[in-house]
Amino acid sequence: MASALGFRLSKGALTTIAPPIPKAYEWAARYIPKPNLPLLDMSQGVPGIPPPAEVHSALGAAASSTTSFGYTRWDGEPTLRQALVDEMKVVYGPETDLEMADVALTSGCNLAFVAVAMSLVDAGDEVILPVPWYFNHQMALNLLGVKPVPLFTSPESGFLPSVAECKKLITPKTRAIVLVTPNNPTGSTYPPSLIASFATLAREHNLPLIIDETYRDFITTGSPPHDLFSRSAINPWRHTFIHLFSFSKSYCLPGHRLGAIVASPTLLQSIKAILDTLQICPPRPIQMALGPLLPSLRPFISDTATQIEARHKLFKDKLPKGWKVGAQGGYFAFVRHPWKGVTAEDVSRRLAVRVGVVTLPASFFMEEKPQGLVGGQPAEGEEESEDYWGGLEREEEVQEEDRWIRFSVANVDDRKVELVCVRLAKCVDEFGWRV
């Protein structure tokens, strides 16, 4: 039960946006599923399958071993750190210049971002991020009193950020440039040449380039995501580049909280106190289980990536008329809905409440701003919330960026993707909005 507090809250806690995923799940909770019309959840990016059986048994054994109950090193189990380095040599190519000393394991990639940010920024500083951005990055920066500076991307450029535009945003307060590729939420996968240009820009301005590559294993081109780690790169990567990784998606174990910072050992020494404070160490049993297994899990990862790529294609092929894919990659498809004058948030809400398709609107991945006009009356079963009717006082025109919706195709199997598309087709007429 909510009650008044007898003390003040921090500015960060008071001003940071509410986590968006629970909002989508509140909409989903208002849908009444039927046996032939189950809820179809394509909202939070979660693996749709469990990890292979070897992981279950290794984790069971590790969790019940008396050696797994204690803390481990601040930077994680050496076996897993070395295994990650070896994996990265497979992903980034044999020229990859990486050592175990470059790796610190963390309790998830979100914590990796917070720890890195804490080592770089002070309250009042600025960090540049392409928009739409990953909301937890925005939230982490807000909590630290840092201004996230939006670098806008557009459907015309496939949601790729512009280096020239980024350069214009650099001020004396800028402390880092952050990229996410393959991107969350757009799915856009940045070409190696673009990543190299961002690294050059960062280096020229003595800024770190932080790249969250949570979805790197879902790139199916067969070539490395970029060549920044390469021994033959003109500039040493440790000078500028900070790589973040999550084990959650590649290894299908988000609940076990495992991520990594790959960066100069000099930077890691500064992050040591931060990691010790935030986590002491990452969870031990999952590290013990994964360390020896990691090399043998590469075929599982490649198969999953191939299946998700095929599902992206299926989704695109089956999407009904009027729905337009702007970008696809990693876990996500970023799709423009067909209705004129209706915000994506209103569409996502109605999709969840009325037809049981749960998605996230683009507005969850950018600074909150006044929304465009809401199209029409609340649907049956939808609440006449203040939020809803607020639309009547909104601007006439819904901006293009307000029409995009993120679908996580990795959450569901092929059959469910087809079911989602059938429901989307029915909505075009049933919602009664102007297309």
Ligand X SMILES: Cc1ncc(COP(=O)(O)O)c(C=O)c1O
Nearer to ligand X, 138 or 363 (CB): 138
Helices then strands, counting H and E runs in the chain, come out as: 15, 13
DSSP E strands in 124-257: the ranges are 126-131, 147-152, 174-180, 209-212, 241-246
Among 254, 320, 322, 376, binds ligand X (CB under 6 A): 254
Binding of ligand X by 184 (CB under 6 A): yes
Question: At 14, is the secondary structure helix, strand, or coil?
Answer: helix
Burial of 318: CB neighbours in 10 Å, binned 0-12, 13-18, 19+: middle
Instruction: Assess 109 for contact with ligand X (CB under 6 A).
Output: yes
Task: For residue 181, state whether it binds ligand X (rule: CB under 6 A).
Answer: no
Residue 76 binding ligand X, by CB under 6 A: no
327 and 433 Cβ atoms separated by less than 8 Å = no
| Order of all β-strands in the sheet with 103-106 | 103-106, 259-262, 241-246, 209-212, 174-180, 126-131, 147-152
Select the span of 93-101, 108-116, 201-209, 377-385 touching ligand X (CB under 6 A).
108-116
Burial of 33 (0-12, 13-18, 19+ CB in 10 A): exposed
Applying CB under 6 A, which of residues 181, 214, 287, 328 lies at the interface with ligand X? 214
Q: Identify which range of 95-103, 246-254, 273-281, 427-435 contacts ligand X by CB under 6 A.
A: 246-254
Instruction: Kindly tell me which of 77 and 346 has the beta carbon lying closer to ligand X.
Output: 77
Tell me how far CA of residue 197 lies from CA of 160, 336, 362, in angstroms: 12, 29, 27
- Choose, by CB under 6 A, the member of 20, 27, 41, 45 that binds ligand X: 45
We find the least distance from the C-beta atom of residue 245 to ligand X, in angstroms, to be: 8
Q: Does 180 bind ligand X (CB under 6 A)?
A: yes
* Residue 45 beta carbon to ligand X: minimum distance, rounded to whole angstroms: 4
We find the least distance from the C-beta atom of residue 366 to ligand X, in angstroms, to be 15
**Binding flag, residue 20, ligand X (CB under 6 A):** no
Smallest gap from residue 255 Cβ to ligand X (A): 9
Strands 174-180 and 209-212: parallel
Cβ closest to ligand X, residue 179 vs residue 419: 179
By Cβ distance, which residue is nearest to ligand X? 108
Number of CB atoms found within 10 A of residue 296's CB? 11
Residue 25 or 388: the one with the smaller Cβ distance to ligand X is: 25
How many binding residues for ligand X (CB under 6 A)? 13
Residue 189 near ligand X by CB under 6 A: no
**Stretch touching ligand X by CB under 6 A, among 53-61, 105-113, 217-225, 338-346:** 105-113
Closest C-alpha to 190, from 329, 332, 380, 70: 329
Task: Give me the least distance between CB of 237 and ligand X, in Å please.
Answer: 20
Helix (H, G, I), strand (E, B) or coil at 130: strand
| Choice from 43, 138, 153, 246 touching ligand X (CB under 6 A) | 246
- Tell me how far, at minimum, the Cβ of 246 lies from ligand X, in Å: 3
* 49 or 123: CB nearest ligand X: 49
**Residue 253 beta carbon to ligand X: minimum distance, rounded to whole angstroms:** 9
- What is the smallest separation between the CB atom of 427 and ligand X, expressed in angstroms? 26
- For residues 43 and 408, the answer to whether their CB atoms sit within 8 Å is yes
For ligand X, the closer CB: 286 or 351: 286
Cα separation, 124 vs 145, in Å, equals: 6
- Residue 43 touching ligand X (CB under 6 A): no
Least CB distance from residue 277 to ligand X, whole Å?
18
* Residue 110 touches ligand X, criterion: CB under 6 A: yes
Which uninterrupted H or E stretch holds 85? helix 78-92
DSSP string, 62-81: HHTSGGGSS---TT--HHHH
- Write the DSSP string, 330-382: TTEEEEE-S-TT--HHHHHHHHHHHH-EE-EEGGGGS-----B---SSPPTTS
In the chain, the amino acid numbered 358 is: V
CB of 136 to ligand X, least distance (A): 7
Is 134 among the residues that bind ligand X (CB under 6 A)? yes
| Distance linking the first and last C-alpha atoms of the chain | 43
Q: Select the span of 11-19, 106-114, 286-294, 347-355 touching ligand X (CB under 6 A).
A: 106-114
Q: Per rule CB under 6 A, is residue 411 in the interface with ligand X?
A: no
Contact in structure between 115 and 273 (CB atoms under 8 Å): no
334 in contact with ligand X (CB under 6 A): no
List of residues contacting ligand X (CB under 6 A):
45, 108-110, 134, 180, 184, 212, 214, 246, 248, 254, 259
